[in-house]
Amino acid sequence: MRLKLTLQCKPDTILPYNYNHYLYKAVARAVHNPSSMGQKRDMNSFTFSQLYFEQYSISANGIRNLGKNVQWYISSIKTYFLESILKGLTDIGTVSLGNVSMPVAGVEILATPEINEVMEFSCMSPITVTCNLDADQGHMRYGRIEDHDFTEKLRQDLINKHYRVYDSLPTDDDLTFEFNERYISNKRRVTRLIAFNGIKILGYMIPFRVSGNPELIRVGYHMGFGNRNNCGFGMVKVWYPPASSEIAEDDAG
C-alpha cells in the first residue's frame, strides 16, 4: 500500500537539496501524533520517494519550485502504519522542510499493482547498499553497482525484511537483478549523493529487472529495495521502458 500526497508550494519557493531528513521527521511527527496511534517499532517498515515537481529549476541555494504543487509518495507493507501516517498528516495539515511549510492539499491511496515473477521497476528514490565501516576512511562505505556482491546484498536484504515482517523465511529465496545498461549509457549521471542529517549516503537511480519469488519482490515494492529505506531510499514504481531510444530525464529534483 502507498500514499500519494499533493503538497501546496508557492512558485519561486526555494527548497533545500538535501530534504530527506525533513521528510523523515514529517512521517515521525505524523505517526507519533496522539490521534494517529502509530507505533514506534514500525518506523523501519516504510520508505518514501523524492519530491516530484510540476516544474522546477536549479539555483545556488536549492530547488526553485515553478509550479503550484509538489507530489510525495510514502509506501509500507503495513496498512495500519500508513493509516496512522494518513491520520497524522491530515490532522497536522502541513509538511515542513526547514523554514518552508507546505500544506497538504490532498492524499490519494494507490492500488498495488500485480506483482509477478518478472518485474521491471524504476527508482522513485535512490537505491543504496551499506557495507562495512571503512577503517581507513573512518566512515561507512556504500556499495558500488560494479561490486560483485551488490545484487546479492539486495537479495539478502529482502530475505531479512521478509523474516522481519512475517517471522519466517520465504519458501523460495531465488532472485536475480539486472540493471538497465542502456539507461546507464544514455544518462550523464545515475548516482545520487544525499546528506541525511550530515551523513552522506550514496545511491543509484537506475531502472532494473528483478526475477524470482514474487513474495520477495512484493516486499521490495512495499518496503523498498536496499538499505536506509526509512531515510528515503529504495522506493520503486513499475517501469514501462520508453519506445524510442531516447531516455527521458527524471521528473524529480
- Residue 30 sits in a domain of what CATH number? 3.30.70.1890
Q: What's the pLDDT at 149?
A: 93
Report which residue type is found at 122.
Answer: S
Q: Are residues 210 and 139 in the same domain?
A: yes
d(CA 84, CA 107): 13
Q: Is residue 89 domain-shared with residue 136, that is, in the same domain? A: no
C-alpha cell at 89: 498528516
**Secondary structure class of 144 (helix, strand, coil):** coil
Residue 245 domain flag: no
Q: Please tell me the distance from the alpha carbon of residue 227 to that of residue 131, in angstroms, as a whole number.
A: 10
Structural domain includes residue 246:
no
pLDDT, mean of residues 227-244: 87
Domain count, the chain: 2
Query: Residue 92 sits in which domain range?
Result: 2-110
- Residue 213 is assigned to a structural domain of this protein: yes
Phi, psi at residue 34, to the nearest 5°?
Answer: -55, -30
The answer to whether residues 123 and 86 belong to one domain is: no
Q: Are residues 168 and 218 in the same domain?
A: yes
Is the model more confident about 31 or about 39? 31
pLDDT tens digits, 147-201: 999 999 999 999 999 999 999 999 999 999 999 999 999 998 999 999 998 899 9
pLDDT interval class at 138 (50, 70, 90): low
End-of-domain residue from the set 64, 80, 110 = 110
What is the Rg, in whole angstroms, of the alpha carbon atoms belonging to the chain? 18
Q: Within this chain, do residues 37 and 53 fall inside the same structural domain, yes or no?
A: yes
User: Same domain, yes or no, for 227 and 127?
Assistant: yes
Distance of CA 58 to the CA centre of its chain: 21
CATH number of the domain to which 142 belongs: 3.30.70.1900
> What pLDDT score was predicted for residue 247?
45
User: What Cα–Cα distance (Å) separates residue 159 from each residue in 12, 44, 173?
Assistant: 44, 15, 7
Q: What is the pLDDT of residues 75-126, one digit of tens each?
A: 999 999 999 999 999 999 999 999 999 999 999 999 999 999 999 999 999 9
Mean pLDDT of 48-77: 96
- In this structure, the answer to whether residues 93 and 125 fall within a common structural domain is no
Do 82 and 59 have their domain in common? yes
Q: Is the pLDDT of residue 235 over 90?
A: yes
E strands in 66-179: 69-76, 94-97, 100-110, 118-123, 130-134, 139-142, 175-179
State phi, psi for 252 to the nearest 5 degrees.
-95, 160
**Residue 95 and residue 127 in one domain:** no
pLDDT number for residue 249 = 46
Average pLDDT, the chain: 90
Within a domain: 70: yes
Distance between CA 235 and CA 48 in Å, rounded? 6
Strand partners, 52: 71, 252
Residue 195 grid coordinates: 546528506
